[in-house]
Amino acid sequence: MNNWINQHVQTIKLVLGRMQNNAVSTFMISLVIAVALSVPGLFYLGVDHLSKFTNHMQDETQISLFLKLDADKDAVQEVEALLKKNKSIKDFHLVNKENAWQTLKNKASAANETDSKVVDLEENPLPDAFFIQAKSTEPDALETLKQELQNIPSVEHVRLNTEWAKRLSALLTLGKKIIFFITTLLAFALLVIIGNTIRMQILTQKEEVIVSKLIGATNSFIRIPFLYAGIIYGLFGGVLATIMLMLAVMAFNLSVQALSTLYSSDFSLPIINSDLFIGIISFAIFIGWLGSSLAVSRSIASIKID
Amino acid sequence: MIKFDQVTKRYPGSNEALKNASFTIEAGELVFVTGHSGAGKSTLLKLIAATEKPTSGTVLIANQNISKLKPSAIPFMRRKFGLIFQDHKLLYDRNCFENIILPLHINGITGNEASKRVRAALDKVGLLQKEKAMPITLSGGEQQRLAIARAVVCRPSILIADEPTGNLDAGYAADIMGIFHAFHQVGVTVIVATHDALGMSAVQNRVLHLNQGQLTQAQSGFDGVHHE
């Protein structure tokens, strides 16, 4: 066992030493792997974050109900009573126009917008509003509920919040499929690239392969260093890809920050997404191993001794 | 140990390199294979080392028919041999020590045990001081001795050398032959192919003489000499 480990450690040292001697080409191949993986990785980050965002939206208020601007306290209570009686409503809360007005003004002054018109307004432009969560999330059930609520006399407008979120999440599902497709294509390209690199290495080390065969090395013994080379390329490429992703996210967050302060939001992407990073690195290692093992068996068999 | 029975080897598109050769080499023998270049010496050695298969006839190595060996069994068969080539076949991207340790790694021997055996082999061929040197910095004779060290480091029972002194001047050649005799004396079967009649005229040993693929002096052995 010890011997076995020792042998693998020796092999890895040998492979790393060779890579050090060809540092530039090692870096190049790692860079190719990194670029090929960071493209779908970046897409994934965006789509994943947006879909979390929309899921969150869907969990929240599903229906916004706005009363007429001239509705008085009685009308509000009347609607509240109706909502309480309605069996398809799970929960709701009232935001009256004074509170909403105050919140809006606070937000505007907090955002320090000098050209904001909100503070200059003399009259409250906002209606009383109910934010309702239905028991069902089915679109049909929500539509019936919406109609029902629309018929209450003092109600101005009922809006289903989830509609756009649903559309977005459908789009995001499509986006995920596209990512999967791109990743598959790039994985094939990587297999070819890694396979070719390993094939070239086998040819440059033809002498060693021949000598090893002559002194009784099994094919699997000859294969091992090349398999490790593939795996290490994958590892380097994967790590490089995660570094590139982190840099891209940082740059993205910087420019988004300016935008999101304008919208008084704190939207930003997390810089470290450990699941994705572990996924990318293991995928890169797998591709490296697969690419080299596909190349190695045929190349080594094709080298004839003497 | 090694038995050839009616062995013929024909390469595609050429004459028979070896015709109907039959002979036996016992364990512990020192055998010279002689003949002009192209007479079939290398073919004979390749058949013994299982790097070629006979076109017809049987080659038995330690009672195993090499024509019937599975490809996966051939590496293990080769580990019985120490092979030495005219062009050394050293690996020039690593130093002497690393060259010699390769067969040990192939046999799964690593660590201190491997280092000890590498140094013992280097000592036997008188290159102990050069373990860190790169092979390219060695003289031709030293490179051949290094190749011998690599061939014997796994303590094979059969040593096969194809023109080991072909590129060396007389002094170095005598050196190398001395080493082979030393291995023969400790019981290793040694088979040396050479066109260099001078080197062996001094010693009376069994000779397999090849002439255009024909074995001409196969059994003119010196049995009496060997079994003393």
Q: Is the pLDDT of residue B219 over 60?
A: no
Reported ipTM? 0.84
Residues B55, B45 share a domain = yes
Amino acid, single-letter form, for residue A114: T
Residues B222, B113 share a domain = no
Q: Is the pLDDT of residue A65 over 60?
A: yes
Give the domain extent around B119. 93-155
Is B88 inside any structural domain?
A: no
d(CA A34, CA A249): 15
State which of A265-279, B81-95, B186-200 shows the largest mean pLDDT: B81-95
Residues B214, B173 share a domain = yes
**pLDDT score recorded for residue A117:** 67
Mean per-residue pLDDT for B35-42?
Answer: 85
C-beta atoms of A7 and B51 within 8 A: no
Q: Is the pLDDT of residue B200 over 60?
A: no
Mean per-residue pLDDT for A132-143?
Answer: 74
Share of chain A above pLDDT 70, in %: 90
CATH of the domain at B18: 3.40.50.300
Residues B136, B51 share a domain = no
Is B86 inside any structural domain?
A: no
Residues B61, B6 share a domain = yes
Token pair for residue A188?
């094939």
Residues B63, B161 share a domain = yes
A129-134 and A155-160: which strand pairing?
unpaired
In this predicted model, what pLDDT tens digit does every residue of A166-178 receive, in sequence order? Answer: 777 788 889 889 9
Residues B42, B64 share a domain = yes
**pLDDT score recorded for residue A298:** 83
**pLDDT score recorded for residue B222:** 45
Residues B140, B39 share a domain = no
* Of A51-55, A236-240, B92-96, minimum mean pLDDT range: A51-55
Mean per-residue pLDDT for A239-243?
Answer: 95
Mean per-residue pLDDT for B116-136?
Answer: 92
Report the gap between the CA of B57 and the closest CA in chain A (Å).
22
d(CA B7, CA A242): 62
Q: Is the pLDDT of residue B221 over 50?
A: no
Count the domains in chain B: 2
Q: Which residues of A touch B47 (CB under 8 A)?
A: none
Q: Which residues of A touch B75 (CB under 8 A)?
A: 213, 216-219, 221
> Under CATH, to which class is A61-160 assigned?
alpha beta
CB-nearest partner of B51 from A208, A218, A305: A305
d(CA A187, CA A193): 10
Q: Give contacts of B 40-59 with A, CB under 8 A.
A: 46, 49, 51
Q: H-helix or E-strand containing B225?
A: helix B223-226
Report residue A16's pLDDT band, with 50, 70 and 90 as the boundaries. very high
Report residue B85's pLDDT band, with 50, 70 and 90 as the boundaries. confident
Residues B195, B148 share a domain = no
In chain A, where the domains are located:
2-57+165-302, 61-160
Q: Does A12 touch chain B (CB under 8 A)?
A: no
Is B42 inside any structural domain?
A: yes
Q: Is the pLDDT of residue A52 over 80?
A: no
Residues B221, B171 share a domain = yes
Is B52 inside any structural domain?
A: yes
Is B87 inside any structural domain?
A: no
C-beta atoms of B89 and A218 within 8 A: no
Angle at B211 between CA B209 and CA B217, to 5 degrees: 30
Is B99 inside any structural domain?
A: yes
d(CA B102, CA A179): 46
Q: Give contacts of A 52-111 with B, CB under 8 A.
A: none
Q: Which residues of B touch A7 (CB under 8 A)?
A: 105, 108, 110
Report residue B220's pLDDT band, with 50, 70 and 90 as the boundaries. very low
B2-10 and B16-25: which strand pairing?
antiparallel
Residues B74, B165 share a domain = yes
Q: Does B11 touch chain A (CB under 8 A)?
A: no
Mean per-residue pLDDT for A213-234?
Answer: 92
Q: What is the DSSP letter of B120?
A: H
Residues B217, B107 share a domain = no
**Which of these three, B120, B137, B155, is where a domain ends?**
B155
CB-nearest partner of B75 from A2, A4, A216: A216
In this predicted model, what pLDDT tens digit does every residue of A255-300 receive, in sequence order? Answer: 877 777 776 666 677 778 888 899 999 999 999 999 999 999 888 8
Interface test with B, best of A205, A207, A215, A303 (most B CBs within 10 A): A215
CB-nearest partner of A10 from B76, B92, B110: B110
Is B63 inside any structural domain?
A: yes
Q: Does A220 touch chain B (CB under 8 A)?
A: no
